[in-house]
Structure 1
Amino acid sequence: MSERRKRVSLVGAPTDIGAGMRGASMGPEALRVAGIHAALAARVAEVEDRGNLGGPGNPWQKPVSGYRHLPEVVSWNLLAFEALHDVLAAGRLPVLLGGDHCLGIGSIRAAMRHCRETGKHLRVLWLDAHADFNTPAITPSGNLHGMPLACLCGMGPTELVHLAGEPGRLPIEALRLIGVRSVDEGERRLVHESRLEVFDMRFIDEWGMRHTMEQALSGIDENTHLHVSFDVDFLDPDLAPGVGTTVPGGPTYREAQLCMEMIADTGLLGSLDIVELNPALDERNRSALVVVDLVESLFGKSTLMRMG
């Protein structure tokens, strides 16, 4: 479906419940201030803003049995799951405005149910400086924003592995991790054992973003639902400092633009997360403005002088 025919719904999830630092709860409003509605309205048939989900506050407690704020994380992900599935069922493209990356559990679960209902194949592009494949046994923090992929792949608490009673796990072969450059030692072993397909920054340095995206997008077709989970710390912190877990050496502006443009070229984008934007750590909303610019490219704005 061309961008001009797509109907987009913005859903805010103002929470930092899974993070180790406060502030990502302000991300949805920062994106709105940066003009995400107007930017998308120039690219698609229709944009609606469904406002913010209303979930539990952040109690800021220590981990219990290896997980911080597990009941609250479950509540927020159930809200995200239900809201995004409703958007997909209405034939619209959901854009989740986060919020921290634990929300990826609910959003991707919604995409999984939608694919099961429509007979589509799911491909998930996880744009992130981190693998987010931790478990309580291998992480000291217990912060659930470092565990969403492990939970989706069946390694986590039952409440999140089977969120909303959903059957099945996210198949490893549906996942592509891009931009990774910070992985805990135990997490690295688990990633290798699970045979995740990871295009880390060394791969991007050696092969370039074009080849990286060709590999990450290989095998998709018109029956593919493409879900992009965009953690703002995917970007180099010189470009986007407003995140709680900055990691130097990320993609440059042009590399990030090419990544987004190549996704847009497929015409298969079906759902999107924007997470981990932390305005408390930003510089005059600079990171949000960069993100909105990149999201425009994800929806078809090209920097190249091409016809069409």
Structure 2
Amino acid sequence: MYPIALLGVPIDLGAGRRGVDMGPSAMRYTGLQARIAALGHDVCDLGNVPTPMIETGAPLGDDPRLRYLDPIWRVCAELADRVATCVQQGQLPLILGGDHSLAMGSVSGSTRGRQLGLIWIDAHADFNTPETTPSGNIHGMSLAALSGRGHPLLTGLAGRVPAIPPDQIALVAVRDLDPLEREALRTSGIHTFTMHDIDRRGMAAVMEQAISCISHATDGYHVSLDLDVIDPKIAPGVGTPVLGGISYREAHLAMELIAQAGGLRSLDVVEVNPILDIHNATAELAVELVLSALGKRIL
């Protein structure tokens, strides 16, 4: 059992919609730290990574295909260093977002000095590059950057390229892809499990295969959980909702299987948007899923 280090990253520069910068506060508000401690973990809250805001003049940059590149890169570089320090101290980093661009920092920091797999649970693949992006929003490029595709500032945060080899990445429950992103993903070498696979085979079979695919010759795995993977009827407080997501119990089962497999080394939970939420329900669900990933069981 690892001691847990909480890190907030209140960033929304990578997204096309405001509000996810309040996600870390919304999750902490549920009593996250005390609830993790009740599972028997030592847990400390290291506060937030300093993050510039649009209101305070975060530079947009000159390239519309890479909106807010410089401040996003700086936040991710700082986050990577902090996560790497937590790992060196024997802690399991738990990163609270914030938009999904932060995963470039969390994954890069966690994989320094070791070989990790990556389980990316998301409605979207986040596999665009500056050449394929329809929006210029960097939260849609983070998985591509971690696998070695994209701007060199973003691909090099781990100190090696790629941060995670594509054959050590499993993308789970994807259901909304841009056309050029779809073509790139097909030839990427990433193990991709769509909602179609979950509908046909069930969440247990898909998660067991995903964990198996990324567990060979690694030191465990990082899990990156985007709350928009869950159906918006259950998780309304996300910036990019897509109908047809996984259910409450499917989400918990996925986290329970991750906990049972025993390879979790770091975790980020992203894209909680309190502005769009109802009575903090999405943040509460996010915390419940964190607890399942950290070993909470029904019996």
TM-score (norm 1): 0.92
Equivalent residues in 2 for 1:153-192 (5 A)? 153-163=147-157, 166-169=159-162, 170-192=164-186
Equivalent residues in 2 for 1:260-279 (5 A)? 260-279=255-274
Change in CA separation of 1:300 and 1:98 when aligned onto 2, cut-off 3 Å: same
* Post-superposition CA distance 1:168-211 (Å, at most 9, x none): 21200110001100000110000012132111100000000010
| Aligned partner (choices 243, 254, 263) of residue 249 of structure 2 | 254
Q: Is the 8 A contact 2:130 2:151 kept in 1?
A: no
Equivalent residues in 2 for 1:279-290 (5 A)? 279-290=274-285
| Aligned partner (choices 287, 291, 294) of residue 296 of structure 1 | 291
Residue aligning to 2:3: 7
Q: Is the 8 A contact 2:22 2:274 kept in 1?
A: yes
Residue aligning to 1:218: 212
Equivalent residues in 2 for 1:221-232 (5 A)? 224-232=219-227
Deviation at 1:44, TM superposition (A): 3.5
Change in CA separation of 1:185 and 1:218 when aligned onto 2, cut-off 3 Å: same
Equivalent residues in 2 for 1:24-173 (5 A)? 24-58=20-54, 59=58, 61=60, 64=63, 66-115=65-114, 121-163=115-157, 166-169=159-162, 170-173=164-167
Q: Is the 8 A contact 2:127 2:143 kept in 1?
A: yes
Deviation at 1:224, TM superposition (A): 2.8
Between the aligned partners of 1:142 and 1:60, the Cα distance in structure 2 is: 14
Deviation at 1:140, TM superposition (A): 2.0
Which one-letter code corresponds to 1:252 in the other structure?
Answer: S
Residue aligning to 1:245: 240
Q: Is the 8 A contact 1:7 1:44 kept in 2?
A: no
How many pairs were matched up? 294
* Post-superposition CA distance 1:29-57 (Å, at most 9, x none): 00000121112111233010001111222
Which portions of structure 1, spanning 4 or more consecutive aligned residues, are displaced by more than 3 angstroms? 59-63
Gapped regions of structure 1 (runs ≥ 5)? 116-120
Moved more, 56-65 or 14-23: 56-65
Q: Is the 8 A contact 2:116 2:219 kept in 1?
A: yes
Deviation at 1:114, TM superposition (A): 3.6
Deviation at 1:289, TM superposition (A): 0.7
Between the aligned partners of 1:92 and 1:112, the Cα distance in structure 2 is: 13
Deviation at 1:65, TM superposition (A): 5.1
Between the aligned partners of 2:122 and 2:243, the Cα distance in structure 1 is: 12
Change in CA separation of 1:34 and 1:154 when aligned onto 2, cut-off 3 Å: same
Change in CA separation of 1:273 and 1:132 when aligned onto 2, cut-off 3 Å: same
- Cα RMSD of the aligned pairs, angstroms, is 1.6
Deviation at 1:63, TM superposition (A): 6.3
Between the aligned partners of 2:253 and 2:50, the Cα distance in structure 1 is: 35
Gapped regions of structure 2 (runs ≥ 5)? none
Deviation at 1:62, TM superposition (A): 7.5
Between the aligned partners of 2:201 and 2:62, the Cα distance in structure 1 is: 40
TM-score (norm 2): 0.94
Q: Is the 8 A contact 2:168 2:190 kept in 1?
A: no
Change in CA separation of 1:174 and 1:223 when aligned onto 2, cut-off 3 Å: closer
Change in CA separation of 1:223 and 1:188 when aligned onto 2, cut-off 3 Å: closer
Q: Is the 8 A contact 1:243 1:278 kept in 2?
A: yes
Which one-letter code corresponds to 2:45 in the other structure?
Answer: D
Between the aligned partners of 1:195 and 1:280, the Cα distance in structure 2 is: 37
Between the aligned partners of 2:20 and 2:142, the Cα distance in structure 1 is: 16
